[in-house]
A and B are shown apart, each in its own frame.
Chain A
């Protein structure tokens, strides 16, 4: 494969790589850096690529290896990240002023509940062990098969299945306990609270009912509800959506809060 052809194909995959790395690192700058490093490393090793896997699989393997060495990817958050970051946001006037400015002026400043669901998943998935988080995103959002994830993460089929099963089970339990969209007793109402702030003229309940996962909340099919949640992530490019700038601003805030929180806990 020539470098020209490779570069052309890389550009077709760049968007997915970048969103994957954002979801793993929770950092725009680190995601962009790792995408660039992935390109450089891939060009250096292009002669070793023999098409035994797809180019996308090969590139995700390089990117995942780089991500595993990234300190922000390695950092694990806590299940109640949204409680901690909410408390920090409420005492941070600048955060809300900036967010409102983005909401009023940016073409990518809309607030949509679906976008916030995807954003929330990204934050909470950082409470899983890194391997479990990587496997969930690779399989459920970027649609790799188990056999491809084995190549990407250089592990065994048994371990990929273990990480996937364990990660999914934990995410189901966390959302079941927290998310008011799927459980009336859920303690987190941030989707409707933020919708009230950014879309004051909307009826939050009507907006929630447009989301299949919320409509099916009473079905009791927990696995299916997680699949519907993951489907939302699959349909959203966090850098290109109508809500991208607002959600990225929020993600940067949460990451900074969690970095300070981790330092405090370590002390």
Chain B
């Protein structure tokens, strides 16, 4: 396969389901400085300004910290999460007992990067409550599109 035939990811999500877990992933190409993408992902108070899927995040997004996240996915629920991995500019993981959300930034040089967000939820009890968890696909695509738009706008500002 030639390099030119490799399609840059466009922000379309995919979900793989099995009996005991479900994994949703979205990847998107962003033409921005990775530092800007990382800052957007790790500045809790700023999320509602640029991200149409997150209503609020309380707390400090740093390794080992606990955060409280509210999402349009379930407006009445507050997700209490722990930041499990924090590799500046590259990888961020937060989650709870049910699953983890993983963000990765892969620099491609020349001001390009690939942003990927994955969430895997599951466990032995998963089949009992799987039907109550709404699909993530739409919010994942919105999240990725919002991040792309905001970080490219900032990168291109004068």
Interface residues of A (CB under 8 A from B): 146, 156-159, 161-162, 164-166, 169-170
| Chain A at the B interface: SS class | helix
Classify chain B's interface size: 10 to 19
Closest Cβ of chain B to A1, distance in Å, is: 32
Which B residues touch A166, using CB under 8 A? Answer: 46, 49
| Chain B at the A interface: SS class | helix
The stretch of B5-13, B59-67, B70-78, B150-158 that contacts the partner chain: B150-158
Contact of B49 among A158, A164, A169 (CB under 8 A): A169
The B24-80 residues at the A interface (CB cut-off 8 A) are 33, 35-36, 39-40, 46, 49
Q: How many A-B residue pairs have CB under 8 A?
A: 31
Residue of B whose beta carbon sits closest to that of A159? B35
**How long is the Cα–Cα vector from A142 to B158 in the complex, in angstroms?**
16
Interface residues of B (CB under 8 A from A): 33, 35-36, 39-40, 46, 49, 153-155, 157-158
Which B residues touch A162, using CB under 8 A? Answer: 35-36, 39-40, 154
Which A residues touch B49, using CB under 8 A? Answer: 166, 169-170
Which A residues touch B33, using CB under 8 A? Answer: 156-158, 161
What are 12 residue pairs bridging A and B, where the CB atoms are less than 8 Å apart in the complex?
A: A146-B158, A156-B35, A158-B33, A158-B36, A159-B39, A161-B33, A161-B154, A161-B155, A161-B157, A162-B35, A162-B40, A164-B157
Residue of A whose beta carbon sits closest to that of B39? A162
Query: Are A161 and B46 touching (Cβ within 8 A)?
Result: no
**How long is the Cα–Cα vector from A84 to B37 in the complex, in angstroms?**
36
Which B residues touch A146, using CB under 8 A? Answer: 158
Residue of B whose beta carbon sits closest to that of A139? B158
**How long is the Cα–Cα vector from A157 to B32 in the complex, in angstroms?**
12
Closest Cβ of chain A to B2, distance in Å, is: 32
Candidate in A159, A162, A166, A170 with the most chain B CB atoms within 10 angstroms? A162
Residue of A whose beta carbon sits closest to that of B37? A158
**How long is the Cα–Cα vector from A169 to B153 in the complex, in angstroms?**
12
Closest Cβ of chain A to B54, distance in Å, is: 16
**How long is the Cα–Cα vector from A29 to B46 in the complex, in angstroms?**
33
